[in-house]
Amino acid sequence: MLGSRRLAAGTGYDCGVSASELNPWRRVSRRVAYENPWIEILHDEVVRPDGKPGIYGVVHFRHLAIGVVPVDASDRVLLVGQFRYTMDRYSWEIPEGGGDFDESPEEAARRELVEETGYSGGKWRELCRAELSNSVTDEITILFVASDLDAGPASPEGTEQLQLRWVPFDEVMAMIRRGEITDAMTILALQQLALERAAAKG
């Protein structure tokens, strides 16, 4: 849990808080209700902001969420298709994965891109950071854009049965508008890139 708090502090979220923004919750106790290599589910007994006793369930992620928008010279975006067990449906997304908190987020993103797609090298820069579902989880994502990539062999994990698809940038944005892309990290990354492009045009 300390890893995620350190990362959040590094984003600047902890700067300049007023008295009205101070934590109104008081934790009385905490126990781990469930854990596996990827998450912990924490059960907290708390005193709520109204002074009454309550409970809070927190899903703590043991890894940072990372993703990358690969863009080629024809302004196409590389999407990865896979079946998402949690949602019981197929999903088209940017390449995504997890990184250790003591690992460089860019290096983690580069590793995941090679594993899922075989593409490597190129020019990279950070797009944005975001909290993915901050009412119940502490998961933080860092998203990148990469270009001038070199093709190579992919090596997905045994849990991943993937398809790759290069899609024109405008069509990817249309897929988001039509509800064909619903993955939050993909939408965040693509919309951030679209905002940057719109700002550059003036």
pLDDT band at 192 (very low <50, low <70, confident <90, very high): very high
Please check whether residues 165 and 69 belong to one and the same domain: yes
Please check whether residues 92 and 144 belong to one and the same domain: yes
| In the predicted structure, residue 39 carries a pLDDT above the cut 80 | yes
> What's the CATH number where 119 sits?
3.90.79.10
Query: What CA–CA distance (Å, rounded) separates 98 from 109?
Result: 8
Minimal CA–CA distance to 117: which of 81, 144, 143?
A: 81
Write out the residue range of the structural domain in which residue 72 sits: 64-201
Number of domains in the chain: 2
What is the arithmetic mean of pLDDT over 160-172? 94
Domain edge (last residue) among 10, 37, 61:
61
Q: What is the pLDDT at residue 17? A: 66
For the chain, where are the alpha helices, taking DSSP H only? 2-10, 105-117, 169-177, 184-201
Domain edge (last residue) among 34, 61, 88:
61
With vertex at residue 11, the alpha carbon angle to CA 8 and CA 16, rounded to the nearest 5 degrees, is 95
Please check whether residues 88 and 176 belong to one and the same domain: yes
Please check whether residues 68 and 130 belong to one and the same domain: yes
pLDDT band at 106 (very low <50, low <70, confident <90, very high): very high
Please check whether residues 128 and 75 belong to one and the same domain: yes
| In the predicted structure, residue 148 carries a pLDDT above the cut 70 | yes
Q: What is the pLDDT at residue 132? A: 96
Please check whether residues 184 and 153 belong to one and the same domain: yes
Please check whether residues 56 and 141 belong to one and the same domain: no
Please check whether residues 27 and 113 belong to one and the same domain: no
Query: What CA–CA distance (Å, rounded) separates 102 from 41?
Result: 22
Exposed, middle or buried: residue 78 (CB in 10 Å: 0-12, 13-18, 19+)? buried
Q: pLDDT digit string (tens) for 86-102?
A: 999 999 999 999 999 99
